[in-house]
Amino acid sequence: MERSLRAAIIGDSVDALQAASYLAGIGIDVRFITGSPAFAFFDSSQADPRLFWSTVLNAVKNPSISFHYNTLSTEIKGTKGDFHIGTKQRLSYIDSNLCTGCKKCEENCSTMLAILKDGEKISGKAVHKPYPGIKSVPSTMVIDKNEVAPCRVACPLGINVQGFISLLANNKVDEAYELINMKAPLGGILGRLCKHPCEEKCNRVKIDSPVSIRALHRYTYDNAGAAGKVPEADAIPSRGKVAIVGSGPAGLMAAWELKRRGYEPTIFESHGTYGGMLATGIPRFRLSREIREREINKIISRGIKIRTGITVGRDIDFAYLRERDYRAFFLAIGASRNNKLNIPGENLKGVIDCMSFLITLNQMGDIFVGSNIVIIGDGNTAVDSARVAIRKNKGSVKIISWTVPDELTAAGDEVEEAFEEGVTIEYSAFPVEILGEGNKVVGVRCRRTRLTDEVMRNGWHKPEPVPGTDFIIDADHVIVAIGQSADASQLNLEGLDVEKKLGTIKVNPITLETNLSGVFAGGDCMRGPNNVVDAMADGVRAAESIDRYISGCDMEQGRNGEPARIAEIDVSAVAASPAQRARMSYLDLETRKNTYEETTTGFSSDTAREEAGRCLSCALCSECMECVKVCKSNAIDHADSVQSAEIEADIILRFPEGKDSDRDSREGIYNFNFEASVSDGDNKPKIMAGVIQTILDLTTAFPDILALRDSHQLSRHHQRVSTDDAEKRTGVFLCSCNGENSAVMDFERLMRAAGSRSDVKHTSMVEQACSENGATAIAERIKADGLTHAVIAACRCCSYDQVCYSCNDRRILLRNYLTGDVSADHNAALDYVNIRELCAWAHNGDGVAATDKAVGMLEAAVDCVNIRQPEDLDRYPINPVALFIGGSNINRTAAMTLEVLGYKVFHIEPPNTPMDSSIASSKDHAAHEGKSVYREMPDSLSIEGSPGNYQVRLEYAGNEDVLNAGAIVMDGSLPQAVLQKISSNYLGRLCNRIISGTRVGDQEREAKYNFSKYESALNQVGIFINAGGAGSEEGQGSNSGIIAAARILQYFRSHWITLRHSVAQVNAALCRACRNCTEQCPLIEIQEDGNGRPHSYVEQFVCTGCGACTAVCPTGAIYINNQSNRLLAASLKSYLCRTKT
Amino acid sequence: MNAGIVVFTCNWDGWSCIDAASSAGMKYPASVNIIKLTCLSSLNAGSMLKAFELGADGVLLLGCLQRQCRYGQFSGNIEVEITKARDILNLLGARSGKIKLSKLAAFDGKGFVEQLQAFINELTAPTLPVKIQTSIEKIHMTERKIIKG
């Protein structure tokens, strides 16, 4: 097979992670699928966090393992070799590869959620760490979102209601304004006139009363400092001219949306002023002229042409417009024709229709009113007219309504205000004649009505007059306000389909297209008299349709009004104390009655904040976008919608939770029941053996994965830097961590201080070192400036290849990026110092002190990196041949396993070593009998050579034989006599010491050294010591043998050995063989030099680097280079004796 | 006055405490400097004394709990070195309490900050150590005896 074998692991546990590491270790491409957002250790008295984190971090570090977090596998389709795993993603909206966990988004998030859990109130922001307060790897943040808030769904314009309210709750008025503006540039009007369908759906009503959304909307507009600021239009070349007839809210919104999409709209308005009903029919105390003009100018000022005084259909016609390249038309002429009563006396002097009444007031600023005013009608216009009249009138103002109080068409709060101002209403009265004297009106004759069962278009019952109940109301001024109708005839558009009775234009409800192609209609002329927000929504919808029409796209696709999923909340789980909605404050009654200006004064900032705080945040994250504004890694994507994906794999390993989980017994799927906890030693070999046996079965089935055809250069491969001291060029790179570090510390000063050293040839800053861009930038500068050593001051603490358990994914990524494709470590020795957590975070209250400290840290770091030698970069290739010394069960099983996989294996066995019956009878043994190379135990055996490539010299009665092997596997049960034979040189003697030391019975030695620690260090250079003796329980040896084979296999598959930096070295000239160090450590022994002079000796590639030997050395002969006394003294000096630079 | 403290820590359990503290947002004074070693057993008395020579007010040694050492070391080594260093400090008349050994479990960030703060408090306490105090008292008493005759 040309590609690597792909294995998917579905699970969460430490066992699953270890399996992943094993698989990756032998060259398999692992896809790790877990439902958790990240790995975290939850306090448990049974498990060891260090083991947990080592396992997690080693897996995360491995480039052959790719992690799929938040992913639940739904079904597994396909067959072995071609599985397709269906998955469902739990969205977190944040890319864990980019997020550095800086928590700026959380600081800036405007949504604080509070829930009741077991009676306790828990609060947290909508964006947070996956397990707040607990370390997680990856360090990413996550966002909780719950469908769409009901208020947002209810809004015809789709304004992000919950969003702007959370911003207001945090006093972010300007941001709230901008958010509203995105959907509703005429928002200032809505804050006064909207019928607030959002409030009708507000979930707060389940606790007490809905949030006063419209009032908060108004508050935003009144208080935003950015008044007048509109989102910038993109500079797109014009995609076509569109004609809009009517400059009311529908027409204006259509123009805005079309302009935003790159079209050239022109509005034709028959009146002299623009705004439609906003300018003509709505009195100033409901919408002031300033607000109206300011809001409309916001739209116009984006370059939209309005031609006033032109009546389309009379002054110009559609043919004319078509000739001038107008490619589509939007009819938004509103409903301006006043309905007539059609009763006698309607033409008397003193009888006026309400539109003329209000227009005159708006345009002239004043109007004549009689003393006994009667308004016929019960809609908003009637009430508006009444309230206008009462301000001028010294007598009475009475509204005549044909229905009952509960079924008035006018909005309740408007009626309330009218009452307060002194307007009265006569209910259930139907005018049948207007009485006059001469040609002037003197009264209205009415008839009582009763409600019928017939339901009218507006949802109320239709009243019918009752004969014989006539009565007269005195009046010297009658205003007729029984509604308006659309009048499409004025357009003179032939063939336009119009509703006969109402006069409204008929349209396709999804696209708003009329029966004439390219002609669209919306607003009151299509709906009949309606609320301003619906007209605006129509304008936006028509613009989308026109865009599709002109572009030639399908006009209905995706728009058939499938309702968004509305967020549900459990009110009992929400922690909110009952509080009634804030009351709007009004001017006092006297002032109110004498002014045409606004009667309400709006909320104070405290009231607004409190009212906004009543919002329950139904959708959790409100998409207010404050987090995006501060995330410099661009890790947040609120539009993320990838919900399901298929992951491909050749084989699958399942680690289901619980004991009796369902087995999936299809071929190629391996089930491991997770029964043992992390620290349960006994079960571990069983599970791991199971995993590994699986792996080994696979390698038999897919032998190519172990293609030994990989080129293995047995020659040394060095990447050397110059050894000449004079050519040492050191660079210092500071990571600002997207501005976080540089906000606390003075980076200018740091760079100056670092650069003031003569050996520092380069200092620079990167934004985010743990990113491809950051690493590439650093690597390029290293090359460009010919640097030989470099300090990266970021979040990583050390340059070792090891993984400490305090590490995390950002630190791992940083090193992976720098040592991966960009290979910065090929050109310079790299060292790292942590200025993020240890300086910026720990001391963020005191920037000067933090900077001071960082100066010392950088200086010490430069000293540390400068002592690195070029040999540090050497890598040693591993010879994939194993030599087994000793014939225990474990050794034999391991050897056989490797042979089956195609590796060359040597055996050296003491004579008469019995073979375990289970092994002798296995088919593998039979197959490979004869292929193994056996040698007798020699007279002496010495292990020489370099790590990973040993030459084992065997001496047989004067004859010498040399075996080359990369791994030497020793049987821990070798008798002492045999051990003596292998002790011809250091490595052999070392193995002897280790094996002897682990023998039961030598308790003093066992107390002093913990030999298992040394063993793992030896494993890394290919020396394996298998515990347990021959004759141990059958089967147990077999399990351990398989695990041993897996460890050796992993070692072979890593191809190279890189040595640790912190190893002990001996300066023989200073050593007087006092044996203090050998007492400390079994790896150290005394050897004689050429002159017979004894001194300590330790093989660097087996030293674990603990340094205990260095502490007890009286002369300093034995030392660790990067922890030497000299270096420590220099670091202490850097920290303690700084002069301010 | 911020006490200049040098913290010698091992790379494993000790370092995990410091990292856990900083990652959780815990604060400590910037006058605390941290030197990372592979293992505390590698530290000799000379390095501790060097810190004092260069002006440190205190040396805090952060190590692992018994039997937790990754290298299989025991705390015997570092305790021997601490005794050596303290003896010399005593000889010089300095307070022997200037060196503190803290053994913490891995990831105990809170423990680190608490131990550090307790150490700083000790160092900045105005009282003289008992030894010198009793010596001075003894001198006074002897003086009085002489005067009284």
Query: Which of B33, B49, B113 to probe the A interface (max A CBs under 10 A)?
Result: B33
Q: Give the integer Cα–Cα distance in Å for A625 and B115.
A: 42
Which structure tokens are listed for B36?
């990372």
Output the pLDDT for position A1105: 87
- Separation between Cα atoms, residue A442 and residue A477, nearest integer Å: 8
Instruction: Report the range of poorest mean pLDDT among A335-339, A1072-1076, B33-37.
Output: A335-339
Helical ranges in chain B per DSSP H: 13-23, 45-53, 76-91, 109-124, 130-148
> Residue A922: pLDDT band by 50, 70, 90 thresholds?
low
Average pLDDT for A645-662: 79
With H, G, I as helix, E, B as strand and everything else as coil, classify residue A832: strand
Q: Do B6 and A1120 touch (CB under 8 A)?
A: no
The confidence score (pLDDT) of residue A707 equals 45
Predicted confidence (pLDDT) per residue in B91-128, tens digit: 888 765 689 999 999 999 999 999 999 999 988 876 65
The closest CB to that of A1105, out of B24, B38, B44, belongs to B38
Res A917: pLDDT:
65
pLDDT band at A99 (very low <50, low <70, confident <90, very high): very high
pLDDT score for A751:
95
pTM of the model: 0.82
Flag if A850 and B51 touch (Cβ within 8 Å). Answer: no
Segment A117-131 mean pLDDT = 86
A1107 with B38: Cβ contact below 8 A: yes
| Nearest of A838, A845, A842 to residue A861 by alpha carbon | A838
Tens of pLDDT, residue by residue over A165-217, are 999 999 999 999 999 988 988 888 998 889 899 999 999 988 889 999 999 99
DSSP secondary structure code for residue A561 in this structure: -
Q: Average model confidence (pLDDT) for chain B?
A: 85
For the packed helices B13-23 and B109-124, what is the interaxial angle rounded to 10 degrees? 90
Question: B25: domain CATH number?
Answer: 3.40.50
- Strand A127-128 with A264-269, pairing: unpaired
How confident is the model at residue A237, as a pLDDT?
Answer: 67
- Split into its structural domains, chain B has a count of 1
The token duo for A1062 is 């912190």
> Does the pLDDT at position A1032 exceed 60?
no
Chain A residues whose CB is inside 8 A of the B78 CB are: 1111
A1120: nearest CB among B23, B36, B42? B42
Rounded mean pLDDT, A658-665: 65
B44/A contact by beta carbon, under 8 A: yes
Per residue in A781-798, pLDDT (tens digit) is 999 998 989 999 999 998
Half-sphere exposure of A415 (CA within 13 A, CB side): 17
Predicted local distance difference test score (pLDDT) of residue A902 = 78
Q: How confident is the model at residue A288 (pLDDT cuts 50, 70, 90)?
A: confident
How many other C-beta atoms can be found within 10 angstroms of the C-beta atom of residue A495?
8
- Rounded percentage of chain A residues whose pLDDT exceeds 70: 88
pLDDT at B133: 53
pLDDT digits (tens, 9 = 90+) for A520-570: 999 999 998 888 999 999 999 999 999 999 999 998 888 877 677 788 877
Looking at residue A919, its pLDDT comes to: 62
Q: Tell me, what's the pLDDT at B128?
A: 55
B39 to chain A, any CB pair closer than 8 A? The answer is yes
Q: Which of A835, A1128, A1133, A1134 to mutate to test the interface with B (most CBs of B within 10 A)?
A: A1128
The domain in which residue B101 lies consists of 5-148
Give whole-number Cα distances, B115 to A840, B38, B62, B108, in Å. 21, 21, 10, 11
Q: Say if CB A273 and CB A308 are below 8 A apart.
A: yes
Complex ipTM tops 0.85: yes
**In the structure encoding, which two tokens stand for residue B59, read together?**
């040396």
The answer to whether residue A720 scores a pLDDT higher than 90 is: no
Instruction: Return the minimum-mean-pLDDT range out of A35-49, A309-323, A329-343, A533-547.
Output: A35-49
Mean pLDDT of A685-692: 63
Averaged over A1000-1012, what is the pLDDT? 58
Interchain pair A1108, B106: CB under 8 A: no
Q: Using CB atoms and an 8 Å cut-off, which of residues 59-118 of chain B contact chain A?
A: 69-73, 77-78, 81, 106-107
Candidate ranges A221-230, A450-459, A706-715, A728-737; pick with highest mean pLDDT = A728-737
Closest CA to A398 of A416, A375, A417: A375
Taking 50 as the threshold, does the pLDDT of residue A1141 lie above it? no
Of A26-35, A691-700, A888-897, A1113-1122, the range with the lowest mean pLDDT is: A691-700
* Cα–Cα distance measured from residue A905 to residue A1049, given in angstroms and rounded to the nearest whole number: 12
Number of Cβ within a 10 Å radius of residue A847: 15
- Of A132-136, A392-396, A549-553, A914-918, which one has max mean pLDDT? A549-553
Q: Does the pLDDT of residue A719 top 50, yes or no?
A: no
Per-residue pLDDT, A643:
76
**Model confidence over A351-379: pLDDT tens digits?**
998 888 888 877 777 777 888 899 999 88
User: CA of B98 to nearest chain A CA: how many angstroms apart?
Assistant: 16
- Confirm if A470 and A445 have CB atoms less than 8 A apart: yes
Best to test chain A binding among B5, B8, B22 (most A CBs inside 10 Å): B22
Contact B20/A at CB under 8 A? yes
Q: How far apart (Å, rounded) are the C-alpha atoms in residues A1035 and A44?
A: 33
Q: Each residue of A208-254: pLDDT tens digit?
A: 899 999 999 999 988 887 555 555 655 566 889 999 999 999 999 99
Chain A residue numbers with beta carbons less than 8 Å from the beta carbon of B2 are 849
Give the residue from B2, B28, B39 with the most A CB atoms within 10 Å of its CB, the best one to mutate.
Answer: B39
For residue A269, pLDDT beyond 90: yes
Mean pLDDT of chain A: 84
The answer to whether A1104 contacts B21, with C-beta atoms less than 8 Å apart, is no
Give B96: exposed, middle or buried? Use CB within 10 Å, 0-12, 13-18, 19+.
middle
Q: Residue A1030: is its pLDDT beyond 50?
A: no
CA dist A954 and A118 (Å) reads 73
Residues of A in contact with B107 (CB under 8 A): 49, 135, 806
Query: Quick one: which H or E segment has residue A962?
Result: strand A959-965
Higher pLDDT, A118 or A922: A118
Q: Give per-residue pLDDT as tens, A333-351.
A: 998 888 888 888 888 888 9
Find the residue in A nearest to B16 (Cα). Answer: A806
Q: Please indicate whether, in this complex, the C-beta atoms of B54 and A1110 are within 8 angstroms of each other.
A: no
Is there a contact between B24 and A1105 if contact means CB atoms under 8 Å apart? no
The pLDDT assigned to A648 comes to 94
% pLDDT > 90, chain A: 39
